[in-house]
Amino acid sequence: MTPAGLSVEVSDGALVTGARAAAAAGIVVDLRRDAWGHGIDAGVRALLAAGVDRACVEPADAPRLRAAGLHGVAPHGDSAVFYGLSAGADPAMHASSCILSTKPLRAGEGVSYGYTHRAAADTWIGLVAGGYGQGVARALGNRISVCVEGRMCPVVGRIAMDVCVVDLGPDGSSVVPGAPVSLFGGDGPARRSLDSWAEATGWTRAELAGVIGACVPRRSVA
């Protein structure tokens, strides 16, 4: 088993699809800031695979990318199309974590700083690796749900720097440490959760996903 924590997978296939859609719409993709936290290499690979030879890149990356066949130009249009970060879109990035431990929470008991959540009835809660230190915006506490073993479970209480807490429901004792937690993206019920993240914070999908991608371990998948 690998060390527990929040991590992201970036889908090459989704980025290639996004590259084609962006090109068709006349968008010049913004690859700055490590391809919005998706990884510059994955971004370049997808654009080249889609036959695109121009993008907005960091000045420091420009010579290397020009040699690879990608020319640095000014951005144009909304690059969210490339990353699947438009409203209602499926993101190329999948953020997931795991349950570290579970415990009962009794009716009336509070959770996390300030006790901003109190249990309405006896339930089980799970401690999830990942907090605002990994880019999970602190404002999301009590505002979103994440997917645990196929079920959407609300994040309860303030999000801490390194962890958050989910309400697993009265049957939550069956969830074991190490159980996967999907935050957004992928192909489960949390696929389009960034829409609710954006609504809860007023922040952009790009920064909500991109800072997580920049902060945590990342790998490319097909």
Where do contacts with another protein occur on this chain (CB under 8 A)? 1-5, 30, 32-34, 36-37, 98, 100-101, 103-105, 109-115, 125, 127, 129, 132-133, 135, 137-139, 157, 160-163, 165, 177-178, 201-204, 206-207, 210-211, 214-215
Q: Closest distance between another protein and the C-beta of residue 171, in Å?
A: 18
| Cα–Cα distance for residue pair 73/160, rounded to 1 Å | 40
Q: Which is nearer to another protein, 81 or 125 (CB)?
A: 125
Phi and psi at residue 61, in whole multiples of 5°?
-85, -15
Q: Which is nearer to another protein, 64 or 187 (CB)?
A: 64
Q: Closest distance between another protein and the C-beta of residue 222, in Å?
A: 26
Q: Which is nearer to another protein, 49 or 215 (CB)?
A: 215
Q: Which is nearer to another protein, 102 or 182 (CB)?
A: 102
Q: Closest distance between another protein and the C-beta of residue 208, in Å?
A: 9
Q: Closest distance between another protein and the C-beta of residue 152, in Å?
A: 21
- Burial (CB < 10 A; 0-12, 13-18, 19+), residue 51, is exposed
| Cα–Cα distance for residue pair 140/90, rounded to 1 Å | 20
| Cα–Cα distance for residue pair 46/1, rounded to 1 Å | 30
Contact 111, 22 (CB under 8 A): no
Distances (CA, A) of 92 to 86, 133, 163, 170, 209: 11, 22, 24, 34, 10
